Amino acid sequence: MENGELRLRALEPEDAEMMYEAESDPAAWRYSDYLAPMSREMLREYALTYDADPLRSGQLRLIIDMEGTAAGMLDLFDISPRHMRADTGIYLLPAFRGMGLGVKALELAKDYCRARLGLHQLTAGVAQQNTAARRCYEKAGFHTTGTRPDWLRSENGWEDIDLLHCRL
């Protein structure tokens, strides 16, 4: 899956270092359910044993590759072949933010999900304070369809997330 110099590719064991950087980013922890950091060895083992069949495993981790460099990850999860939908999550390393790569990666993912997985829709849960992520999803054609109040716990209390949706 390519868009100019950007492509989505399969996860490789060599991506463990990039995943370690992403999973160790304290700013991203507030959006995940992880309570502790992951080790490089855990992530390497994950990459080595990863089940890349999205219809069997219900998930797919794709690496956002910019001219041969891993720039981040795009995850499809809670994939439902029956209902033809999946949730999405995206993470770009700080050096690759603000360049429009997230929008391009989501567009590639939409094409893949429509053509190869036969999906009908994608969704995302975006924290209301995460304006960069919201802009990225909106530019890729996602629209807000609802809100989950008090969905994320933070140092300052509770944060709502908006549910974004895109028909393919």
Question: Is-contact 85 120, C-beta < 8 A?
Answer: yes
Q: State pLDDT tens for residues 20-68.
A: 888 877 776 666 666 667 788 888 887 878 888 888 888 999 999 999 9
The predicted structure's pLDDT at residue 1: 62
Question: Is-contact 140 124, C-beta < 8 A?
Answer: no
Q: Please, is 102 exposed, middle or buried when counting C-beta atoms within 10 Å of its C-beta (0-12, 13-18, 19+)?
A: buried
**Given a cut of 90, is residue 2 above it in pLDDT?**
no
Q: Which amino acid makes up residue 6? A: L
CATH entry 3.40.950.10 includes domain 2-123+131-142: no
β partners of residue 167: 121
Closest CA to 75 of 38, 46, 95, 98: 46
The predicted structure's pLDDT at residue 55: 80
Please say whether the dihedral angle defined by the alpha carbons of residues 31, 34, 40 and 43, taken in this order, is positive or negative.
negative
Question: Is-contact 122 107, C-beta < 8 A?
Answer: no
CA 93 and chain centroid, separation: 12
Quote the CA–CA distance of 72 and 66 in Å, as a whole number.
9
The predicted structure's pLDDT at residue 96: 96
Domain residue spans of the chain: 2-123+131-142
**Rounded mean pLDDT of 71-89?**
96
Task: Tell me which DSSP letter residue 152 carries.
Answer: E
What is the C-alpha R_g of the chain? Answer: 15
